[in-house]
Amino acid sequence: MITHYGYIDGSGEYFIVIDSDKCNGCRKCTEKCPQNALEMVTEFIDLEDKTVAAVSETHRKKIRYTCQECEPERNKTPCVLACQQGAVKCVWKPL
Amino acid sequence: MTELPKEQKEFWRWQEYHRVRNDRNWKNKDVITAGVDVGSVGSKAAIMIDGEMYAWAVTRTGSNSPDSAKKVMGMVLEDTDLKQSDIQYTVGTGYGRVNVPMANKAITEIACHAKGANYIWGPSVRTILDVGGQDIKAIHCDETGRVTAFLMNDKCAAGTGRGMEVFADLLQIPIEDIGKVSLSVDEDPPPVSCTCVAFAKTEAIGLLRKGWTKEKVLAAYTRAMAIRMANLVNRVGLEKDFVITGGQSKNIGIVSRIETILGVKTLPSPNWREGGLDPMIAGAAGAALLGKALYLKSKGS
């Protein structure tokens, strides 16, 4: 499941996108995030509970500001680079 | 003093109801499961017998999730020959899912909605827009109802059921008529600029003062909401077999505007007033279905 964490508002689109089918729960992205914006959550997939990375709830509604420093528009943020599975990417389109 | 003055009527209030499908033969009851979807505004419950919808109920969520869960469960059992103890597995879902006392397991509403939409409309459904009381979810799923992509916007209440309730109240139009009224303008005015419901309300009051009709204000607000929702659907992936669930699926003003913006017709909704399933119970239906799968899995079959 590909989850888009973030929002579209009047100023553009801001999403950190995590593919829980690719995520192997290694936690590397959560360790590399300078803002501590990522956490591990339990997701219900194919009748099983799986531990996967997610953007923590407190940051979802202000992600534009949380992630700004890492320059997500280049899609080379520490979380993206940390993931060897290619499960994390940024969709950042400020207007 | 028999009737309330007009300004004290509850224009936001929508119909609470329960239904049992006694038109079929439910003799062989192997697996009886329930799904309880405690949303931010509405609580829904569904009982399934061997994976087929037997009864459901829709009510308002109170300030206390466990009480709302108990209330809606009581409603759904009414007029059935079942007791709470007959239910073999219950799944709680929705905003208040961790507070459903009778639930064997809590599952996020995303998984439940996709499964439920797959049940209500069939396996061709790929794109689901759930417009809830307090958030909007866009879901993409496969032919089994498994979620492939998901996006939720809960940043604010504009463009949700709660926002519509605020507008129904402000404009003194019963919530069930709001879609029809919003479509009674010849042409949509420019959408309201504000996405926040509190500010949109302020803006609407300003427009009313400027001499805009209620219909025109409502059309502008509904259009702004539809544009927001359409953006989310496009991001998650729009496909031809597209449905809208949640309370706003009953708002024809929203549905028809989204269809125009996206250029896709939604699959026709079953008519709950005429015995069909209700698009509002997709989450509860999915929860009951996942409950059946979990129950069978726990029995090792």
Q: What are the mean pLDDT values of chain B's consecutive 10-residue runs (301 residues total)? A: 62 89 81 96 96 96 92 95 95 93 95 96 96 90 96 74 88 93 92 68 89 93 88 91 92 95 92 87 98 95 66
Looking at residue A47, the DSSP 8-state letter turns out to be T
What pLDDT does residue B8 have? 63
Q: How far apart are CA B149 and CA B169, in angstroms?
A: 35
With beta carbons under 8 A apart, name residues in chain A contacting B126.
Answer: none
The alpha carbon of residue B104 is apart from the nearest alpha carbon of chain A, in Å, by 14
Taking CB atoms and an 8 Å limit, are A4 and B235 in contact across chains? yes
Q: Is B148 at the interface with chain A, CB within 8 A?
A: yes
Domain count, chain B: 2
- The Cα-based distances of B6 to B13, B169, B174, B192 in angstroms read 14, 11, 11, 27
Q: Is B60 at the interface with chain A, CB within 8 A?
A: no
Distant-in-sequence, close-in-space partners of B112: CB < 8 Å, separation ≥ 6: B35, B37, B91, B93, B94, B282, B283, B284, B285, B286, B287, B290
Residue of chain A whose Cα is closest to the Cα of B295: A47
**B128 in a domain, yes or no?**
no
- Cβ(A53)–Cβ(A40) below 8 Å: yes
Going by DSSP bridges, is the β-strand pair A48-55/B242-245 parallel, antiparallel, or unpaired?
unpaired
HEC profile of chain B: CCCCCHHHCCCCCCCCEEEECCCCCCCCCCCEEEEEEECCCEEEEEEEECCEEEEEEEEECCCCHHHHHHHHHHHHHCCCCCCHHHCCEEEEECCCHHHCCCCCEECCHHHHHHHHHHHHHCCCCCEEEEECCCCEEEEEECCCCCEEEEEEECCCCCCCHHHHHHHHHHHCCCHHHHHHHHCCCCCCCCCCCCCCHHHHHHHHHHHHHCCCCHHHHHHHHHHHHHHHHHHHHHHHCCCCCEEEECHHHHCHHHHHHHHHHHCCCCCCCCCHHHCCCCHHHHHHHHHHHHHHHHHHHHCCC
With beta carbons under 8 A apart, name residues in chain B contacting A61.
Answer: 154-155
Residue of chain B whose Cα is closest to the Cα of A63: B155
- Best residue in A44, A49, A92 to probe B by mutation, most B CBs within 10 Å? A44
What pLDDT does residue B82 have? 92
Taking CB atoms and an 8 Å limit, are A3 and B228 in contact across chains? no
**B268 in a domain, yes or no?**
no
Same domain, B36 and B76: yes
Q: Which two tokens stand for residue B218?
A: 């409502």
Amino acid at B238: L
**B217 in a domain, yes or no?**
yes
Domains of chain A: 2-94 (3.30.70.20)
Looking at residue A30, the DSSP 8-state letter turns out to be H
Same domain, B116 and B14: yes
What pLDDT does residue B1 have? 47
**B87 in a domain, yes or no?**
yes
pLDDT digits (tens, 9 = 90+) for A26-46: 999 999 999 999 999 999 988
Q: What count of other Cβ atoms lies within 10 Å of the Cβ of residue B148?
A: 16
Give the residue ranges of chain A where pLDDT is below 50: none
The alpha carbon of residue A14 is apart from the nearest alpha carbon of chain B, in Å, by 11
Boundaries of domain holding B223: 152-262
Burial (CB count <10 Å: 0-12, 13-18, 19+), residue A22: middle
With beta carbons under 8 A apart, name residues in chain A contacting B155.
Answer: 7, 9, 61
Q: How far apart are CA A31 and CA B285, in angstroms?
A: 38
Q: How far apart are CA B131 and CA B259, in angstroms?
A: 15
Q: How far apart are CA B18 and CA B72, in angstroms?
A: 9
DSSP H or E stretch at residue A28: helix A28-32
**B1 in a domain, yes or no?**
no
What pLDDT does residue B17 have? 93
**B270 in a domain, yes or no?**
no
Residue of chain A whose Cα is closest to the Cα of B292: A47
Q: How far apart are CA B265 and CA B113, in angstroms?
A: 20
Amino acid at B241: D
Q: How far apart are CA A39 and CA B190, in angstroms?
A: 41
**B137 in a domain, yes or no?**
no
Taking CB atoms and an 8 Å limit, are B195 and A10 in contact across chains? yes
Looking at residue A26, the DSSP 8-state letter turns out to be -
Q: What count of other Cβ atoms lies within 10 Å of the Cβ of residue A77?
A: 23
What pLDDT does residue B195 have? 60
With beta carbons under 8 A apart, name residues in chain B contacting A2.
Answer: 148-150
Residue of chain B whose Cα is closest to the Cα of A48: B294
Same domain, B280 and B258: no
- Cβ(B43)–Cβ(B59) below 8 Å: yes
Of B110, B155, B294, the CB nearest to A61: B155
Distant-in-sequence, close-in-space partners of B108: CB < 8 Å, separation ≥ 6: A43, A44, B93, B97
Amino acid at B233: V
Same domain, B257 and B282: no
Whole-model pTM: value is: 0.90
What pLDDT does residue A20 have? 95
**B290 in a domain, yes or no?**
yes
Q: How far apart are CA B137 and CA B116, in angstroms?
A: 14
Q: What count of other Cβ atoms lies within 10 Å of the Cβ of residue B300?
A: 5
Task: Indicate which CATH number applies to the domain containing B285.
Answer: 3.30.420.40
